[in-house]
Amino acid sequence: MHLRLKNLLYLLLCFTMLASCGHFEKVKKSSDVNYKLTKANEYFDKKEYAHANELYKDLMPIMKSTRNFEALFYKYSYTFYYLKDYVEASYYFKNFTEYFPTSKDAEECEFMSAVCLFKYAPKYTLDQTNSIKALEALQSYVSRYPKSARIAEANGYIDASHKKLESKEADAARLYFNISQFKAATVAYKSVLRNYPESPNADLYQYMAMKAWFKYAKASINEKQEERYANAINAYRELKDNYPKSKYLADADQLNTEASNNVKKLRNEHK
């Protein structure tokens, strides 16, 4: 009995889905523009975004220059967003602002275009071209609408974008260090520090730059060691001056002592 009930429910579900698909195909083939628009809006309201998207797509060229085009364009853009097609969504949101620059929804659509770029951007370990585009779009929005109610949210996305880009740079610097490319590591860590001076990891970047200089000096020929140890000592002083409470100072103190002793030893050898 239980199995029969399950089979009946399954058949009922299949029948409902077939009926729904058949109804949608009938709507899609209709030549009645107003009917088609009404059904598209109904699908949108019921969150059946794939169906709404197909109907809006058919209607876009037909309804261009009509009084309903703005609302249609707006909802069409959102169907892509809800379907998580962020590339198309960003494109249409941006186009909306260009078609309707004085619309009450223009600010929202500019914001959403930037948000879609942010959502499309991959995790920080991958290429960050889209994160940069998202950051530029978000910063442009904040600049254009400084009093917007969406500013806090936009700034949150901006901070998240900065963190991704920082993590990408920091990973590159760490890789140079790990494969013993110490000169490249010093440049990379100083670059991260220069680009993100307010980072909570700023003292780490300074410490790693100092450590890279130290290891670079240690691996160098005698003629180059003194200068490179001196660079390590200078980096240590910057760490101590700028981050006096850094948890990396104890390790840095030891490296600095060793670097200073090595400089003295090298100078004595040259006498």
Q: Is the pLDDT of residue 15 over 50?
A: no
Helix 151-178 crosses helix 106-120 at what angle (to 10 degrees)?
20
Task: Kindly state the percentage of the chain with pLDDT values over 70.
Answer: 89
* Predicted local confidence at residue 124, as pLDDT: 61
* Predicted local confidence at residue 2, as pLDDT: 53
Cα–Cα distance, 145 to 162 (Å, whole number) = 20
What domains are there in the chain, each with its CATH number?
A: 180-271 (1.25.40.10)
Cα–Cα distance, 9 to 12 (Å, whole number) = 5
Q: Are 95 and 62 in contact (CB under 8 A)?
A: no
pTM across the whole model: 0.78
Cα–Cα distance, 131 to 25 (Å, whole number) = 39
Candidates 249, 164, 235, 157; CA nearest to 199 is 164
Q: Which of 10-14, 73-77, 186-190 has the lowest mean pLDDT?
A: 10-14
* Predicted local confidence at residue 28, as pLDDT: 78
Task: Kindly state the percentage of the chain with pLDDT values over 90.
Answer: 76
